């Protein structure tokens, strides 16, 4: 029976190539946009190299100091000392890493200028993050305690600075802003969209110009807390918030008095959304705008599809009349149309899959985002197939319902 | 004729409901796209107001060195002036042209309050960025002796605060005890690149004993290369032990600012064009089918003496009525944007976007209906009636 339906569907597709083209164009376009979007979101938020532990990590990135009147507000990352005192010593997490936010700098080789991002980290950074070391090894607690001027560099920077991708460079020195550092290791770089791990050069936090000595609460460091398991998140947050609430206020920072101290400790996705929009009101606005855009993006092709289908099914009235006259029940006809529509949606889905692969490869190789690693993973694909299915039902059921209500006489007349 | 067409459409409102929804949704999408493009295009046409080519920004950071910071920065400023490759040096805050950082402050004059982009820059700023004051002059260090801090405002700020009044010599203040005396007015200052809206801006004199504002802008001679830059960084870091020194070329920062605007617009544009092509194809298909269904009606009209032209006009007229209905519905939504001042965009942008969307939708439906209507008009009455 099913093969019969499929055969029928195939013949119907071939009968009017133009309408088939319209339908396929709509379906594959919408799905492609949707899949590229989801894979980009997955690239931004999912656990990928080198932050493969992201799903069991909490990020402490923003401290807000407000006075009672609420007129003055200071916010930003924290000092190394604050994070050492209040985060590093937490009992519940498996491990805590403290690293600086991205700094930018320049290096010069001959007449060549290299723009670079640098990061100061502790030794645990290399244990919390899963970097691939192409050569050498990370710096450890001894290097940090001794204040060694060493660095771990990315493979991109190695190529730019030393001019060769294959030659080993561990033990050689690099010069940045008049300071010489010994290269300890070379890692495969992290994309710039992962700003907690992206850098071209990583220094131990005791290297010059790291400002880890600052005594205030705010500074330029953030902490990433690795939990043993996601279920520990609550316990870690409770322990941390309890500690912060015990810090006596009011205090002074940079000559300004503040009474309320708030430090966020949250998952990567929450943290990411939090930096885009502050405050609950803005969040609702942002989400409704995004919702509206997605609705339009899906709604418009869906309406279009339904429209075309409705018009086309009437075109086939006589065929339906004949089938009904020979005793086909409404249910059978309904199934035929639903399957027909699902069939075309899945062909559209297949085309969309191919298009998505092409676009993703283009993005990955265009150098638009260095180290971009967009992939179609299982979740993205399943989501798209699900959407495919909904589309098929949406544009299949409505016209089919109308159709099956036709009287035999009317259908035959048409 | 028009009433007749409305009647025809109304009689088939059920069949047309989905079509109306489709045109309505396309109109909204188009309106969003048109607003975005018109807003940015209008900004782009406004001149920047300064010259950025050959200008480099040198960011200094004192790190753990906290002694004589102001004096050390001034030393570097003097030292940079001695290079043959450097035409001019100026010192300012971290909100230098095309940088991500910005600062804004509220300023008052006679009860008129306005938010301004705020810049602390020294006397050489105008010379380094080729800014010519429209009225008055750029301030000098010598102006700092008075009670009020000297300031320069841009044309936009002048309109906001003074209207028709002459701003020169007037005193501005804020809620605190700060006061400024306006000594000059400049034209535009769009420091976040061409796509930025022209906003009110105010410049105040940077005092030599200031230890916070530590970005230096230098204008280099044509043909200055990275070899000089490397030498410069080496010299400055040798002079300032433990300080961070970073050099940005304004041309590169400008490209970054452009991309921040252009990439989202481009993505939106691509997606919307595909959506519209999709809608157009669908519309074409539906109209084609509709006309095939109404063959007998057309045959009858033709037999009763209607010309080809009249038939064609009827079908085009029907789709125009449909489009008009959908767009009236859409306009109900879109007029809320200028009325409620959503997103703080000038009402003119929304109005222009509405006009553009209406025109494009009419063009689109006409394009889609043209071929099917012609087909309809060519139907021979004898053939159509024979089939019936």
Q: Which DSSP category does B207 fall into?
A: P
Dihedral of the CA atoms B226, B231, B234, B236 (nearest 10)?
-100
Give pLDDT, residue A174.
94
Give pLDDT, residue A279.
55
Give pLDDT, residue B129.
94
- When scoring B230, B249, B267 by the number of chain A Cβ atoms within 10 A, the one with the most, hence best to mutate, is B230
Question: Which residues in chain B are contacts of A103 at CB distance < 8 A?
Answer: 244
Determine contact: B342 vs chain A, CB below 8 A.
no
B212-248 residue pLDDT tens: 899 999 999 998 888 999 999 999 999 998 899 999 9
Give pLDDT, residue A396.
65
- In this prediction the pTM is 0.82
B233 lies in some domain: no
DSSP secondary structure string for all residues of A174-189? EEETTEEEEEEEEE--
Determine contact: B99 vs chain A, CB below 8 A.
no
Q: Residue B274 and residue A299: Cβ atoms within 8 Å?
A: no
Question: Which residues in chain B are contacts of A208 at CB distance < 8 A?
Answer: 63, 242
Mean per-residue pLDDT of chain B: 88
Tell me the CB-side half-sphere exposure of residue A319, using CA atoms within 13 A: 11
Query: Which has the higher per-residue pLDDT, B330 or A269?
Result: B330
Question: Which residues in chain B are contacts of A304 at CB distance < 8 A?
Answer: 22, 278-279, 282
Instruction: Give the span between the Cα atoms of A31 and A27, in whole angstroms.
Output: 6
Burial of A303 (0-12, 13-18, 19+ CB in 10 A): buried
Based on the fold, state whether residues A258 and A343 are members of the same structural domain. Answer: no
Instruction: Give the span between the Cα atoms of B286 and A307, in whole angstroms.
Output: 7
Based on the fold, state whether residues B59 and B19 are members of the same structural domain. Answer: no
Can you say whether residue A147 is alpha, beta or left, with left for phi > 0 and alpha for psi between -120 and 50 degrees?
left
Picking from A104, A108, A299, the nearest residue to B226 by CB comes out as A108
Residue with tokens 């000297």: B150
Instruction: Give how far A296 is from chain B: nearest CA, Å.
Output: 7
Could you report how far apart the first and last alpha carbons of chain A are, in Å? Answer: 27
Q: Which of A196, A231, A263 is the last residue of a domain?
A: A263
Dihedrals φ, ψ of A77, to 5°? -70, 175
Based on the fold, state whether residues A366 and A314 are members of the same structural domain. Answer: yes
Q: Residue A310 and residue B293: Cβ atoms within 8 Å?
A: no
Whether A278 and A371 have beta carbons less than 8 Å apart is answered as: no
Based on the fold, state whether residues A293 and A171 are members of the same structural domain. Answer: no
Whether A243 and A226 have beta carbons less than 8 Å apart is answered as: no
B279 lies in some domain: yes
Picking from A104, A303, A311, the nearest residue to B289 by CB comes out as A311
Domain that holds residue A398: 2-47+282-413
B144-201 residue pLDDT tens: 888 889 999 999 999 999 988 999 999 998 877 788 999 999 999 999 899 998 999 9
Determine contact: B226 vs chain A, CB below 8 A.
yes
Beta-bridge mates of residue A59: A224, A266
How many domains in chain A? Answer: 2
Residues of chain A short of pLDDT 50, as ranges, are: none
- When scoring A104, A300, A318 by the number of chain B Cβ atoms within 10 A, the one with the most, hence best to mutate, is A300
Instruction: Give the span between the Cα atoms of B76 and B215, in whole angstroms.
Output: 11
Based on the fold, state whether residues A232 and A303 are members of the same structural domain. Answer: no
A184 lies in some domain: yes
Based on the fold, state whether residues B273 and B128 are members of the same structural domain. Answer: no
Based on the fold, state whether residues B81 and B173 are members of the same structural domain. Answer: yes
Domain that holds residue B280: 2-45+257-387
Reported ipTM: the value is: 0.78
Based on the fold, state whether residues A141 and A191 are members of the same structural domain. Answer: yes
Based on the fold, state whether residues B97 and B211 are members of the same structural domain. Answer: yes
B239-280 residue pLDDT tens: 998 899 999 999 999 998 898 888 888 988 988 888 888 889
Question: Which residues in chain B are contacts of A299 at CB distance < 8 A?
Answer: 25
- CA distances in angstroms from A231 to A53, A228, A237, B354, listed in the order given: 14, 8, 11, 52
Give pLDDT, residue A408.
74
Cα–Cα nearest to B55, from B122, B124, B129 = B129
Cα–Cα nearest to A364, from A348, A355, A375, A353 = A375
Give pLDDT, residue A282.
66
- CA distances in angstroms from A142 to A84, A139, A186, B301, listed in the order given: 18, 8, 19, 96
Instruction: Give the span between the Cα atoms of A100 and A277, in whole angstroms.
Output: 23
Instruction: Give the span between the Cα atoms of A139 and A145, in whole angstroms.
Output: 11
Burial A351-373 (b: 16+ CB within 10 A, else e): bbbebbeebbeebbeeeeeebbe
Q: Which residues of A touch B (CB under 8 A)?
A: 18-19, 21-22, 25-26, 29, 33, 103-106, 108, 110-113, 177-179, 208-209, 211, 213, 296-297, 299-301, 303-308, 310-312, 314-315
Determine contact: B286 vs chain A, CB below 8 A.
yes
Q: Residue A300 and residue B247: Cβ atoms within 8 Å?
A: no
How many domains in chain B? Answer: 2
A277 lies in some domain: no
Whether B188 and B49 have beta carbons less than 8 Å apart is answered as: yes
Q: Residue A113 and residue B282: Cβ atoms within 8 Å?
A: no
Question: Which residues in chain A are contacts of B229 at CB distance < 8 A?
Answer: 106, 108, 113
Instruction: Give how far A27 is from chain B: nearest CA, Å.
Output: 10
Based on the fold, state whether residues A239 and A307 are members of the same structural domain. Answer: no
Based on the fold, state whether residues B41 and B88 are members of the same structural domain. Answer: no
pLDDT band at B78 (very low <50, low <70, confident <90, very high): very high
How many degrees, rounded to 5, is the angle at CA A374 between CA A387 and CA A300?
Answer: 30
Q: Residue B246 and residue A105: Cβ atoms within 8 Å?
A: yes
Burial of A45 (0-12, 13-18, 19+ CB in 10 A): middle
Residue in B closest to A254 by C-alpha: B212
pLDDT band at B387 (very low <50, low <70, confident <90, very high): low
CB atoms within 10 A of CB B257: 20
Cα–Cα nearest to A226, from A77, A103, A126, A102 = A126
How many degrees, rounded to 5, is the angle at CA B96 between CA B346 and CA B193?
Answer: 40
Dihedral of the CA atoms B73, B78, B79, B81 (nearest 10)?
130
DSSP secondary structure string for all residues of B87-121? EEEEEE-S--TT-S---EEEEEETTEEEEEEEEEE
Determine contact: B245 vs chain A, CB below 8 A.
yes
Question: Which residues in chain A are contacts of B61 at CB distance < 8 A?
Answer: 209
Could you report how far apart the first and last alpha carbons of chain B are, in Å? Answer: 27
């Amino acid at each position: 029976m099913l093969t019969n339906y499929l055969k029928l569907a195939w013949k119907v597709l071939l009968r009017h190539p133009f309408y088939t083209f319209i339908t396929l164009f709509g379906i594959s376009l919408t799905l492609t946009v949707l899949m590229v979007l989801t894979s980009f979101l997955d690239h931004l938020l999912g656990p990928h190299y080198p932050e493969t532990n992201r799903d069991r990590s909490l990020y402490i990135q923003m401290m807000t100091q407000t006075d009672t009147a609420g007129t003055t507000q200071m916010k930003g990352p924290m000092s190394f000392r604050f994070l050492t005192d209040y985060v590093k010593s937490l009992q519940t997490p498996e491990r805590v890493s403290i690293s600086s936010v991205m700094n930018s700098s320049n290096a010069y080789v001959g007449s060549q200028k290299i723009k670079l991002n640098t990061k100061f980290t502790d030794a645990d950074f290399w244990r919390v993050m899963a970097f691939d070391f192409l050569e050498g090894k990370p710096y450890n607690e001894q290097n940090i305690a001794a204040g060694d001027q060493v660095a771990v560099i990315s493979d991109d920077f190695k190529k730019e600075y030393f001019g060769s991708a294959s030659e080993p460079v561990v033990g050689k020195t690099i010069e940045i802003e008049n300071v010489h550092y010994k290269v300890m290791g070379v890692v495969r770089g992290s994309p710039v969209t992962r700003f907690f791990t992206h850098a071209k050069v990583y220094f131990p936090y005791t290297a010059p110009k790291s400002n880890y000595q600052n005594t205030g609460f705010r500074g330029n460091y953030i902490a990433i807390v690795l939990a043993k398991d996601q279920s520990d998140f609550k316990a870690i947050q409770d322990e941390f918030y309890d500690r912060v609430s015990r810090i006596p206020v009011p205090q002074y920072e940079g000559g300004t008095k503040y009474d309320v101290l708030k430090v966020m400790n949250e998952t990567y996705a929450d943290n990411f959304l939090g930096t885009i929009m502050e405050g609950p009101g803005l969040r609702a606005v942002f989400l409704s705008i995004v919702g509206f855009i997605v609705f339009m993006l899906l709604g418009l092709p869906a309406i279009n599809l339904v429209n075309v289908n409705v018009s086309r099914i009437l075109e086939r009235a006589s065929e339906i009349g004949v089938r009904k006259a020979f005793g086909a029940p409404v249910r059978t006809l309904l199934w035929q149309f639903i399957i027909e529509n699902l069939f075309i949606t899945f062909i559209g889905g297949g085309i969309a899959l191919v298009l998505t692969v092409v676009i993703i490869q283009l993005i990955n190789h265009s150098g638009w985002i260095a180290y971009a690693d967009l992939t179609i993973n299982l979740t993205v694909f399943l989501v798209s197939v699900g959407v495919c299915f909904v589309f098929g039902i949406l544009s299949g059921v409505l016209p089919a319902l109308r159709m099956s209500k036709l009287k035999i006489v009317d259908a035959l007349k048409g | 004729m028009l009433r007749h067409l409305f009647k025809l459409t109304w009689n088939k409102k059920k069949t047309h409901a989905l079509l109306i929804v489709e045109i309505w949704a396309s109109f909204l999408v188009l309106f969003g796209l048109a607003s975005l493009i018109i807003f940015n295009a209008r900004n782009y046409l406004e001149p920047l107001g300064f010259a950025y080519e050959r200008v480099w920004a040198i960011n200094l950071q004192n790190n753990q060195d906290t002694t004589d910071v102001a004096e050390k920065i001034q030393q570097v400023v003097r030292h940079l002036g001695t290079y043959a490759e450097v035409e001019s040096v100026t010192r300012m805050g971290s909100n230098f042209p095309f940088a991500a950082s910005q600062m804004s402050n509220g300023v008052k004059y006679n009860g008129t309050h306005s938010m301004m982009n705020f810049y602390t820059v020294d006397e050489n700023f105008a010379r380094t960025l080729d800014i010519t004051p429209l009225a008055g002059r750029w301030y000098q260090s010598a102006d700092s002796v008075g009670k009020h801090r000297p300031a320069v405002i841009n044309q936009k700020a002048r309109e906001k605060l003074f209207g028709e009044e002459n701003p020169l010599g007037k005193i501005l203040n804020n809620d605190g005890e700060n006061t400024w005396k306006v000594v000059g007015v400049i034209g535009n200052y769009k420091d976040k690149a061409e796509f930025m809206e022209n906003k009110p801006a105010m410049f105040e004199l940077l005092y030599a004993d200031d230890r916070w504002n530590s970005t230096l802008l230098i204008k280099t001679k044509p043909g200055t290369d990275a070899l000089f830059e490397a030498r410069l960084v080496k010299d400055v870091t040798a002079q300032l032990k433990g300080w961070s020194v970073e050099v940005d070329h304004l041309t590169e920062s400008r490209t970054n600012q452009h991309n921040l605007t252009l990439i989202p617009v481009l993505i939106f544009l691509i997606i919307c064009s595909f959506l519209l092509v999709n809608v157009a194809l669908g519309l074409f298909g539906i109209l084609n089918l509709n006309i095939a269904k109404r063959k007998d009606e057309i045959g009858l009209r033709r037999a009763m003496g209607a010309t080809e032209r009249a038939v064609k006009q009827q079908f085009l007229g029907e789709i125009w009525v449909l489009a008009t209905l959908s767009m009236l519905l859409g306009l109900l939504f879109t007029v809320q944007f200028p009325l409620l001042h959503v997103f703080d965009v000038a009402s003119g942008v929304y109005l222009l976007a509405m006009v553009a969307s209406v025109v494009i939708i009419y063009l689109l439906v006409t394009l889609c209906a043209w071929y099917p209507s012609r087909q309809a008009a060519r139907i021979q009455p004898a053939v159509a009636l024979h089939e019936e």
